[in-house]
Structure 1
Amino acid sequence: MKEIDQALLKKVIIERPRSSHKGDYGRLLLIGGTYPYGGAIIMAALAAVHSGAGLVTVATDRENIPSLHSQLPEAMAFAVTDQELLAEQIAKVGVILLGPGLNANELGGHLVELVFERVQPHQVLILDGGAISLYTRLGLSLPPAQLVFTPHQKEWEAMSGLAIGDQGEEATRQSLSQLPPASILVQKGPQTKIWQQGQTDYYQLSVGGPYQATGGMGDTLAGMIAGFAGQFPQVGLYERVVVASHLHSGIADDLSKNAYVVLPTAISKEIPKWMREICLSNCQ
């Protein structure tokens, strides 16, 4: 098991060059929030923007867009049923987050199939929530992209065939070998583990707790991962995913000192401050 230490955080979260612009910090497309799960994609978008993503576009139900913009005017948005615009956006971005609040219905299945058909090898594709459920239920072949999976225990059970009680290290390692090379697995649970296919070792979070057991926590984590995936090119995607996951639970851990339950949106508000503190520590 690898340790997530301050040196790794400082390696990933570095000072931004003065000559940079928003295009240097990731072009993201977030797809989800179909009725009745509109809040999920809003929480994912909040986390992505607060994590420093340069350009965030959200494809969701048209009725969900006013709610999104009332909380996050920094994000662009369009109706997920606009197939022409969706195909155009898929081709333009570097990171696609598919699944927060994606209903596992006919529309959801069509969206997953469309993204799988159009995503390219140079793009990062993060599969979360409804996208994982639909991918496993439909038996789809995974596309040639840089893949990140963020399943909770029941979703990993569906993906791997491992019952929750059987999801130990060796069994997970063997199941991971069935995924495409270099795929990243964020195995969410009481002690979240982050794996990369092809590596025998893994990272395990030492922060976080039951105060995170509330709706939207996974959506916020997925948004943070997407935000980190779109920036910090000086390190590999695996390290970016690990640090985003650690920061998510580290902030929650700190907030829990004064709160019985930590809300996902409260975590998002704290992300820029924590990233700034880590960045400043590089100068010390």
Structure 2
Amino acid sequence: MKEIDQALLKRVIVERPRSSFKGDYGRLLLIGGTYPYGGAIIMAALAAVHSGAGLVTVATDRENVPALHSQLPEAMALDVTDQELLAEQIAKAGLILLGPGLKDNDLGTHLVQLVFNRVQPHQVLILDGGAISLYTRLALPLPQAQLVFTPHQKEWEAMSGLAIGDQGEEATRRSLSQLPPASILVQKGPQTKIWQQGQADFYQLTVGGPYQATGGMGDTLAGMIAGFAGQFPQVGLYERVVVASHLHSAIAEDLSKKSYVVLPTAISRKIPKWMKKISQ
């Protein structure tokens, strides 16, 4: 097991060059929040923007757009059923987060298939929530892209065939070998582990706790991972995912000192201050 230490945090979260602009910090497309799960994609977008993502576009139900903009005017938004505009945004994005609040129905199936057919090898594709469930149920072939999976224990059970009680290190390592080379797995649970296919070692979080057991926590984590993955090119994608995962739980642990339950949106509000402190 690899250690997540201050040196790793500082290698990833660095001060921004004065000559940079928003295009240097990621062009993200977030797809999800289909009825009745509109809050999920809003929380993911909040986390992505607060993590420093340069340009964030959200494809969701049209009825969800006013709620999104009331919370986050910094994000662009489009009707997820506008196929022409959605295809255009898929082509433009450097990173696609697919799945927070994505319902398992005909529309969800179409969206997963559309992204899988159009994503390119140079793009990062993060599969979360509903996208993992749909990909697993439909047994779809994975596209050629830089893949990140963020399953909770039941989703990993469906992906790997491993019952929750059997999801130990060796069994997970064997299952991970079936994924495309360099795929990243954020194996969420009481002791979240972050793996990369082809590497024997993994990172395990030593922060976090039951105060995080509330709806939207995984959506916020997915948004943070997307925000980090779209920037910090001085390190590899794996290190960016690891640090985002750690920071998500570290902020929650700090907030839990004064709160019985930590809300996901409270974590998002604290991200910029923590990143500033680490970068200095």
Q: Shorter-chain TM-score: which interval?
A: over 0.9
| Aligned-pair CA distance for 1:63 | 0.1
| Aligned-pair CA distance for 1:163 | 0.3
Q: Is 2:181 the counterpart of 1:181?
A: yes
| Aligned-pair CA distance for 1:98 | 0.1
Letter in 1 for 2:44: A
CA offset digits 1:151-181 (Å, max 9, x no partner): 0000000000000000000000000000000
Q: Secondary structure at the match of 1:126?
A: strand
The alignment covers a number of residue pairs equal to 280
CA offset digits 1:198-252 (Å, max 9, x no partner): 0000000000000000000000000000000000000000000000000000000
- Equivalence map 1:8-157=2 (5 Å): 8-157=8-157
Q: Is 2:197 the counterpart of 1:197?
A: yes
1:271 is aligned to 271
% identical equivalent positions: 89
Structure-2 separation of matches of 1:187 and 1:14: 26
Structure-2 separation of matches of 1:85 and 1:227: 22
Letter in 1 for 2:9: L
Letter in 2 for 1:141: P
* Ranges of 4+ aligned residues in structure 1 off by more than 4 Å: none
Please provide the CA RMSD for this pair: 0.2
| Aligned-pair CA distance for 1:146 | 0.1
Letter in 1 for 2:254: D
Structure-1 separation of matches of 2:168 and 2:230: 31
Provide the TM-score with structure 1 as the length reference. Answer: 0.98
Letter in 1 for 2:37: Y
Letter in 2 for 1:56: V
Structure-1 separation of matches of 2:77 and 2:16: 27
Q: Secondary structure at the match of 1:41?
A: helix
2:212 is aligned to 212
| Aligned-pair CA distance for 1:83 | 0.4
Structure-2 separation of matches of 1:12 and 1:139: 35
Letter in 2 for 1:99: G
Structure-2 separation of matches of 1:58 and 1:104: 19
Unaligned 5+ segments in structure 2 are none
Unaligned 5+ segments in structure 1 are none
CA offset digits 1:83-108 (Å, max 9, x no partner): 00000000001000000000010100
Provide the TM-score with structure 2 as the length reference. Answer: 1.00
